[in-house]
Structure 1
Amino acid sequence: MKELTLTLIAILTCHFSNAQPDTDIYVMNLRRSAEGLLIEKTENISNNEGYDNQPSFWVDGESMIYARTINGQTDIARYYFDSRNTLVITDTKQGSEYSPTPMPDGRISSIRLDTTGLQLLYAYKFDGDNEVLVKDLKIGYHAWINSNELVAFVLGDPATLQIINVNTQKAHILVNNIGRSLHKIPGTSSFSFVDKTSSPWVIKSMDPLSEKSETLTAVLEGSEDYCWTPNGEILMASGNELFVWKEGSEWQKFATLSRLGVSTITRLSVSPDGKKLAIAAE
């Protein structure tokens, strides 16, 4: 039985690693004109063979963090825009980190998948020092809504949206069958998520106190990743095309990245000042 268990863990770990696409992180300037949003000076800042994904701007906008894979191991990397230098923060031999996210206290929260199959949410300092944040839940994706609470995509059948207090370790299920893209809505206390309970899938907002939700818009067909601008717009991609939505309007295409050889855009992140857009793309 022990040999069977170890074999299954090895198979699952290998499958998870092999399932990661060959993606890179692109950063571009985001500018507003009379015609709408424009992108300029697009650059591949990871330029690394393998899986580079899940970009997130740091709170000062002068750097960004993302998941970077080297020799089959995925760690947290930090890219500095002025120097164009990349600093790899973690070197976790017993596992890999995914979905690095700035924490309200200045640390980085990230999902760690160990080679044993254990998957937990950790907090990391920039010197690599770390601790488990949530002990008993297998979290896939998360977003901070205040200094003590986060909302999380918790793995299961179906996946659930849960709100978790990291101080008390208390978790509460809000809804079932959600997507992986979770975000605090700029300038509000609410957050947004993708509801997959019906077709088409829709992006909803939710107030964490009342737990009341409101449908904002349907997602673009075949897509589920999106991000917010500081102006309250939602950016989303379909294939290699970028779209913008704002309340009272429909999705509008504003850019195509075919000239860069990009075929599929997934994760997106906008800088705190709204002047830069980062994407993960194949």
Structure 2
Amino acid sequence: MRKFLFSFTTLLTAFLSEAQPNTDIYVMNLRRSPEGLLVEKPQNISNNDGYDNQPSFWTDGESVLYSKTLDGQTEIARYYFNSKNTLIISDTKQGSEYSPTPMPDGRISSIRLDTTGLQLLYAYKFNGNSEVLVPDLKIGYHAWIDADRIVAFVLGEPATMQIVNTKSGEATVVGKNIGRSLHKIPDSKDFSYVDKSGDNWTIMRMNPVLRESEEITSTTGSGEDYCWTPKGEILMADGAELFVWSPDSGWKQFADLSKDGITSITRLSVSPDGKKLAIAAE
């Protein structure tokens, strides 16, 4: 499929500052059968007008983080599956939080865009207290590689992929023309990203020490968001359809959520035990 490149700096600025899609967070059971993966019982856990997006499971799999729209801005929300309660963690009057992500030390990392235009990566405790993690870079997206380092989509002309040590502040450019979906690969020290330098986008893996990349597979469908299962499979969506990739079988469709009233799926996240799937969708 032919895909066209565009400025992600322009995209992210427009994305965070202009009208955002009316998305919700859906969570469903993810089950394995002799025929392959199955999804069951999709539930809208946000049920909210406005932009609810960027789900990320907590490390124990008992809750999920996401960005939730409240009073015209987004805050960090945590939904608990057992109680079905939602805890609002941040209450930032001067800005909005995006892409909340579990940190290795038990806190939450999140991009904060202030009303002044300042955009930085923060660390949040569950009482809402926060501190800047990376003071010198305008980060759009990130993933944790280990206890000290992240791989980050850094805005600029051009936008770059950088490995950042949040303790020392050292940052190294390791790529460009990448997508927003960055992930640590299960049972590996490597991370993955989408290479958009060609007409056909590819999911790549990089060793953060050697800083060498190799192709995993081409993306499927018209989207760019993906996630990993604990078994080393990749999930992607195209509209309401869900696809799974494995080294043995390549890409296969395994679900169509249009019957549940779900149309455009973007972000995806699988629980650490592989039994739940969270998506952002319209």
The equivalent of 1:227 in structure 2 is 227
CA distance 1:39–1:122, change in 2 (3 Å): same
1:77 aligns with 2:77: yes
1:58-105 CA deviation, whole Å, 9 max, x = no partner? 001111110000121100000000000001001100000000000000
Match runs of 1:48-63 below 5 Å: 48-63=48-63
1:264 aligns with 2:264: yes
Instruction: Give 1:158 deviation, angstroms.
Output: 2.7
Counterpart Cα distance in 1 of 2:19 and 2:184: 28
1:127-180 CA deviation, whole Å, 9 max, x = no partner? 000000000100000000000000000112332110000111010000111000
The equivalent of 1:139 in structure 2 is 139
**Structure 1 segments (4+ residues) deviating >4 Å:** 12-15
Q: Secondary structure at the match of 1:279?
A: strand
- Structure 1 gap ranges (5+): 1-11
Of 155-164 and 193-202, deviating more is 155-164
Q: Which amino acid aligns with 1:245?
A: W
How many residues of Structure 1 are paired with residues of Structure 2 in the alignment?
271
The equivalent of 2:25 in structure 1 is 25
Instruction: Give 1:15 deviation, angstroms.
Output: 7.2
1:166 aligns with 2:160: no
Q: Secondary structure at the match of 2:156?
A: coil
RMSD across aligned positions (CA): 1.3
CA distance 1:175–1:42, change in 2 (3 Å): same
Match runs of 1:119-198 below 5 Å: 119-198=119-198
Give the TM-score taking structure 1 as reference length.
0.94
Q: Which amino acid aligns with 2:52?
A: D
Give the TM-score taking structure 2 as reference length.
0.94
Counterpart Cα distance in 2 of 1:34 and 1:112: 44
Counterpart Cα distance in 1 of 2:15 and 2:267: 21
Instruction: Give 1:19 deviation, angstroms.
Output: 3.4
1:99 aligns with 2:99: yes
Instruction: Give 1:263 deviation, angstroms.
Output: 1.4
Q: Secondary structure at the match of 1:259?
A: helix
Counterpart Cα distance in 1 of 2:42 and 2:261: 12
Does the CA-based 8 Å contact 1:13-1:115 persist in structure 2? no
Does the CA-based 8 Å contact 2:221-2:237 persist in structure 1? no
Q: Which amino acid aligns with 2:187?
A: G
Counterpart Cα distance in 1 of 2:144 and 2:204: 17
CA distance 1:14–1:274, change in 2 (3 Å): closer
Counterpart Cα distance in 2 of 1:222 and 1:120: 29
Q: Secondary structure at the match of 2:48?
A: coil
Instruction: Give 1:252 deviation, angstroms.
Output: 0.3
Counterpart Cα distance in 1 of 2:111 and 2:258: 32
Counterpart Cα distance in 2 of 1:226 and 1:254: 15
The equivalent of 2:3 in structure 1 is none
Instruction: Give 1:260 deviation, angstroms.
Output: 1.9
Counterpart Cα distance in 2 of 1:278 and 1:232: 17
Q: Which amino acid aligns with 1:91?
A: D
CA distance 1:239–1:147, change in 2 (3 Å): same
Counterpart Cα distance in 2 of 1:267 and 1:184: 16
